């Protein structure tokens, strides 16, 4: 179901781009797509380095974090993936993320706070979720979604300028007003669809992470702050 939602939402973003291009002219659509895809291809190739540098993550050896390396190696093997690089962020809050444009270039980063606040079982559940993102190639999906959303935003800007600078090709005032309305609504709609894609990929990573770990309850324990909508486990007397 989450895969289907992703496909439908990506289709909706594509339809927005085509609709805007049809209204403005095909040359604008192709120009906006080329600009958006160029920007996001750059992000796809270099986002892992940028994100890791901005977060202050540093690669740790097996000797420094033996248990963390063991968990990542075990889970990536269960997922049929190469072992990602393991990085640590010296921060007190609990967080983790995976990055990399493909499984061979993947990296998993966790904060010091995550290792201190969660137990080993919960840390393993979080790592399974992040490795599921790698297995599902969510960086690629996010890049495509961001490229389409950026193209819609660029086309919306063109609509805005055309509406502010006057009518196009002698069209009436209604055309200018509709262009301004599209310029306001389309980028918001594209952003909402992009967020919907992100949410569907998160749920898919939860599902895949549960299968990879073989321990679904580890992803929903009350002490795990990174799991959305975590529910308490039933207590057996």
* From 116, 130, 202, 220, the catalytic residue: 130
How far is the C-alpha of 229 from the C-alpha of 129, rounded, in Å?
15
Token representation of residue 80: 């049929």
Q: 91, 111 in Cβ contact below 8 A?
A: yes
- Residue 65 appears among annotated catalytic residues: no
Q: 137, 118 in Cβ contact below 8 A?
A: no
Which residues belong to the active site?
130
């Amino acid at each position: 179901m989450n895969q289907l939602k992703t496909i439908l939402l990506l289709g909706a973003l594509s339809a927005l781009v085509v609709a805007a291009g049809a209204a403005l002219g095909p040359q604008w659509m192709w120009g906006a797509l080329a600009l958006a895809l160029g920007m996001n291809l750059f992000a796809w190739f270099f986002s892992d380095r940028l994100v890791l540098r901005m977060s202050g993550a540093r690669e740790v050896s097996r000797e420094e974090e033996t248990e963390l390396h063991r968990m990542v190696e075990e889970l990536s093997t269960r997922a049929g993936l190469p072992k990602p690089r393991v990085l640590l962020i010296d921060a007190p809050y609990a967080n983790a993320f995976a990055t990399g444009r493909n499984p061979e270039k993947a990296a998993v980063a966790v904060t010091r706070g995550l290792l201190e606040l969660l137990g080993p079982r919960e840390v393993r559940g979080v790592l399974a979720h992040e490795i599921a993102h790698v297995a599902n190639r969510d960086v690629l999906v996010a890049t495509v979604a961001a490229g389409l959303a950026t193209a819609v935003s660029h086309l919306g800007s063109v609509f805005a300028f055309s509406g502010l600078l006057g009518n196009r090709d002698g069209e009436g005032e209604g055309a200018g007003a509709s262009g301004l309305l599209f310029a306001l609504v389309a980028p918001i709609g594209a952003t909402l669809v992009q967020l919907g894609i992100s949410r569907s990929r998160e749920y898919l990573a939860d599902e895949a992470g549960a299968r990879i770990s073989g321990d679904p309850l580890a992803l929903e324990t009350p002490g795990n702050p990174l799991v959305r909508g975590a529910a308490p486990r039933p207590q057996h007397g």
